[in-house]
Amino acid sequence: MACPVPSFQVMRHDNSSILELDGKEVSVFTPSKPREKWQRKRTHVKLRNVTANHRINDALANEDGPQVLTGRFMYGPLDMVTLTGEKVDVHIMTQPPSGEWLYLDTLVTNSSGRVSYTIPESHRLGVGVYPIKMVVRGDHTFADSYITVLPKGTEFVVFSIDGSFAASVSIMGSDPKVRAGAVDVVRHWQDLGYLIIYVTGRPDMQKQRVVAWLAQHNFPHGVVSFCDGLVHDPLRHKANFLKLLISELHLRVHAAYGSTKDVAVYNAISLSPMQIYIVGRPTKKLQQQCQFITDGYAAHLAQLKYSHRARPARNTATRMALRKGSFGLPGQGDFLRSRNHLLRTISAQPSGPSHRHERTQSQADGEQRGQRSMSMAAGCWGRTMTGRLEPGSATGPK
């Protein structure tokens, strides 16, 4: 069973694609169909002075299971306008990173702006990460995603975004600080060959801002799961999503990170206390249910490196696939870092005797870029989903 979750987007810089794998850039995308008049007369009026807020869910699937793509096409920061009854063209790159873009089909959005497409048997995908692009026929606005096909038994490490990473305010703030060493811990697990999954109880309408924050601070790429709109019980949503990965896709959780609120989520998927790492003050109630990270991520990372819990992921096929590229942004992690397109992690903890500002490995080679790099990163990511494609534009999957 395919499991849809929102994806990371590849950042563009100066209108050129920076998605690269083994020295090769992803093929330039050109819309397969020219712009047409809207199917409905009211659409032109509804879309005046609003920007696109489209998103496609990343799809996780097995080789022998259904491979389904789902997306939603909305306009305005709070989904003020729904794109109803309009054409959306679906494209996939079957041989990334330098293969040709293949036009699959044209869908029509329903009354809630949604589309769903099952990849036919003739185009069934093997293990790998495949870029997806959906383009609105009427104005050539677009959304990007990936479908990732994994073998059964793939191991993953899950992080609750708000609970694990943010050290100040909310991710909806201008630029909340990152907990010192958080990026290095995620990268450590990724380097060992684990699939990285980020979960949040936030609605998918906030996807662009949250993903931009993760990208700005150079978190390793992975799958991000948002709620489908506003939900009454976001913790239950997290648990159900993880249960689906385990029961339907036969994936295996190796470790989980979050706040004290997430302990119940991880208990619901039968994780042992040794697999659950919690950021925050230890409480007597939870001491027997998890491992508290009390001395910061740097100390935690040092412990991981010298413990058997930090063993490499067991599934060789998955490790090979992830080694060739990142899960969601194939191959550009080192490329981005070396060319200064993304700001390195700026990590901070509250001031005090035991909570001082720390330099992390991720931060060391990025501080010199300062505010200029931050502005560039934030600016580029802010534009990724609101632009329009023009024929021949140098745009890979973002």
Q: Tell me the C-alpha distance between 198 and 159, whole Å.
A: 5
Q: For residue 332, what pLDDT is reported?
A: 38
Query: 286 CB contacts (<8 Å, ≥6 apart)?
Result: 260, 263, 278, 292
Residue 314: what residue type?
R
Tokens of 360: 């992390």
Q: For residue 29, what pLDDT is reported?
A: 86
Closest CA to 397 of 93, 47, 150, 65: 93
Block means of pLDDT (10 residues each) for the chain, 398 residues, are 47 33 61 94 93 90 93 92 98 86 96 97 90 95 88 93 75 73 93 91 84 85 84 88 95 94 95 94 90 93 82 75 43 35 41 45 46 34 47 44
Compute and round to an integer the Cα radius of gyration of the chain: 21
Q: Is the Cβ–Cβ distance between 116 and 70 less than 8 Å?
A: yes
Q: For residue 373, what pLDDT is reported?
A: 35
Query: 7 CB contacts (<8 Å, ≥6 apart)?
Result: 56, 57, 58, 144, 145, 146, 223, 224, 328
Q: For residue 387, what pLDDT is reported?
A: 55
Q: For residue 222, what pLDDT is reported?
A: 84
Does the bond joining 330 to the residue before it have cis omega, within 30 degrees of 0?
no
Residue environment code for 291-326, b if the CB has 16+ CB neighbours within 10 A, otherwise e:
bbbeebbbebbeebeeeeeeeebebeebbebbeebb
Q: For residue 96, what pLDDT is reported?
A: 82
pLDDT in tens, 53-81: 999 987 899 989 999 999 999 999 889 99
Concatenated DSSP letters of 89-133 = EEEEESSTTTSPEEEEEEEE--TTSEEEEEPPGGG---SEEEEEE
Judged by DSSP in three states, 191 sits in helix
* 268: Cα within 13 Å, side-chain hemisphere: 15
Q: Tell me the C-alpha distance between 245 and 249, whole Å.
A: 5
Q: Kindly state the greatest CA–CA separation across the chain.
A: 64
Confidence (pTM): 0.76
Which burial class, exposed, middle or buried, applies to 113 when counting CB atoms under 10 A from its CB (0-12, 13-18, 19+)?
Answer: buried
pLDDT in tens, 276-308: 999 988 888 998 899 999 999 999 999 998 876
Judged by DSSP in three states, 284 sits in coil
| CA 321 vs CA 97, 130, 176, 218, 370: distances in Å | 13, 12, 33, 21, 34
Query: What helix, strand, coil percent values describe the chain, rounded to 5?
Result: 30, 25, 45
> C-alpha angle 101/104/110, rounded to 5°?
125
Q: Is the Cβ–Cβ distance between 87 and 137 less than 8 Å?
A: yes
Tell the residue number behind the tokens 């990173």, with chain if given. 97
Closest CA to 208 of 104, 33, 53: 53
